[in-house]
């Protein structure tokens, strides 16, 4: 019915799927949203039992109290979606991507989550005793963020907070942070050139003037992330979630913290944004913005340029 449809921000609050039986008593076909784009859709309280939602993109959608019993949702994208008190009993969530989703109080009795990625998902008051979690990913791999990387992140935070008096700038070029949970971190000015951040959680992170040239951010969650003045040239942002992200220019400050009157644009030249979610993203440039030469790690001092 809605297979492959573009239903971004659509409101189906309280909607019901097709009846289980037609007037002549013959079982009806379930409603189909397979492959549809439903970013930020409002499905609060919707009755979608047995719905076909395979490979549907529900990034940021509101499915609070929705009934999805026995729904076919293999490969569904539920990044940062709200599923509070939703009924997912016996639903097929094989290979689903639910990083950062809120599943608090959801019913998941008998659900299939083989190959599902729920890193960073809220599972408060969710009973998984009757769910096989052995092949699902609920937390990042324990060896993902090495001690060296952790130390670098801590030192970088000190570097930013102390205006360079303590700590040191993070140099993480080429590091593999696939599925890493980096929500809310201040990585402004960090060197992340060529870093692998596939499916990484960077929601609410601050990456002002960070160097992400050539980085792999495929399917990453960058919702509400501040990327002002960042270098994303050649980066892969395919199917990344940039909902409400800030990609405007950043102020260029002098070494003593004074405004120079110049601004650094966010660089997207050669970046791959195929399938990226840009709902609410701020991309506009203020009047008089200059395009500055060099990267955040080159001709511009990343520390004294942080806005």
Number of independent structural domains in the chain: 2
Question: Which residues neighbour 281 within 8 Å (Cβ) at sequence distance 6 or greater?
Answer: 242, 243, 244, 245, 246, 247
Predicted local distance difference test score (pLDDT) of residue 163 = 80
Predicted local distance difference test score (pLDDT) of residue 10 = 64
Predicted local distance difference test score (pLDDT) of residue 298 = 39
Do 289 and 151 have their domain in common? yes
pTM reported for the whole predicted model: 0.80
Residue among 93, 85, 74, 79 at smallest CA distance from 35? 74
| Pair 224, 260: CB distance under 8 Å | no
Do 256 and 228 have their domain in common? yes
Predicted local distance difference test score (pLDDT) of residue 196 = 96
Predicted local distance difference test score (pLDDT) of residue 14 = 58
Predicted local distance difference test score (pLDDT) of residue 4 = 59
Distance of CA 247 to the CA centre of its chain: 15
Predicted local distance difference test score (pLDDT) of residue 26 = 44
Predicted local distance difference test score (pLDDT) of residue 164 = 83
Domain boundary among 139, 173, 198: 139
Predicted local distance difference test score (pLDDT) of residue 5 = 56
Do 62 and 199 have their domain in common? no
Predicted local distance difference test score (pLDDT) of residue 161 = 85
CA distances from 292 to 17, 169, 210, 255 (A): 53, 21, 14, 17
Predicted local distance difference test score (pLDDT) of residue 303 = 54
| Pair 93, 76: CB distance under 8 Å | yes
Do 266 and 147 have their domain in common? yes
Do 111 and 171 have their domain in common? no
- Residues (pLDDT < 50) of the chain are 18-21, 25-27, 286-300, 307
Neighbours of 106 (CB within 10 A): 28
Pairwise CA distance, residues 98 & 194, whole Å: 25
| Pair 281, 245: CB distance under 8 Å | yes
Do 152 and 250 have their domain in common? yes
Do 124 and 150 have their domain in common? no
Do 169 and 129 have their domain in common? no
Task: Measure the N-to-C terminal CA separation of the chain; round to a whole number of Å.
Answer: 48
Domain of 222 in residue numbering reads as 142-307
Pairwise CA distance, residues 280 & 285, whole Å: 15
Q: Residue 282's domain is classified under what CATH number?
A: 2.160.20.80
Predicted local distance difference test score (pLDDT) of residue 136 = 95
Which tokens is 125 given? 């008051």
Share of the chain above pLDDT 90, in %: 67
Which residue's entry shows tokens 């004294």? 304
Question: How does pLDDT run across 110-159, given as a tens digit for each residue?
Answer: 999 999 999 999 999 999 999 999 999 988 765 556 788 888 988 998 99
Predicted local distance difference test score (pLDDT) of residue 284 = 61
């Amino acid at each position: 019915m809605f297979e492959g449809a573009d239903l971004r921000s659509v409101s189906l609050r309280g909607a019901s799927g097709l009846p289980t039986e037609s007037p002549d008593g013959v079982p009806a076909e379930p409603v189909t949203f397979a492959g549809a784009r439903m970013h930020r859709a409002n499905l609060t309280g919707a009755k979608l039992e047995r719905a076909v939602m395979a490979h549907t993109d529900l990034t940021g959608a509101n499915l609070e109290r929705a009934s999805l019993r026995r729904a076919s949702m293999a490969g569904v994208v539920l990044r940062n979606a709200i599923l509070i008190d939703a009924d997912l009993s016996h639903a097929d969530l094989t290979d689903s991507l639910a990083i950062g989703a809120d599943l608090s109080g959801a019913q998941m009795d008998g659900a299939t989550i083989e190959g599902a990625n729920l890193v960073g998902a809220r599972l408060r008051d969710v009973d998984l005793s009757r769910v096989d979690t052995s092949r699902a990913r609920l937390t990042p791999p324990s060896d993902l963020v090495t001690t060296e990387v952790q130390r670098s992140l801590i030192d970088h935070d000190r570097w930013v907070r102390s205006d360079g008096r303590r700590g040191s700038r993070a140099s993480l070029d080429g590091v593999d942070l696939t599925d890493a949970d980096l929500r809310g971190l201040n990585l402004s000015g960090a060197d992340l050139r060529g870093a692998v951040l596939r499916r990484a959680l960077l929601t609410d992170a601050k990456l002002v003037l960070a160097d992400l040239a050539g980085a792999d951010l495929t399917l990453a969650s960058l919702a509400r992330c501040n990327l002002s003045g960042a270098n994303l040239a050649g980066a892969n942002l395919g199917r990344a979630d940039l909902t409400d992200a800030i990609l405007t220019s950043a102020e260029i400050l002098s070494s003593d913290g004074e405004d120079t009157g110049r601004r650094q644009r966010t660089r997207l030249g050669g970046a791959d944004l195929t399938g990226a979610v840009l709902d609410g993203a701020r991309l506009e440039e203020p009047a008089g913005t200059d395009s500055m030469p060099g990267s955040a790690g080159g001709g511009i001092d990343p520390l004294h340029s942080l806005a």
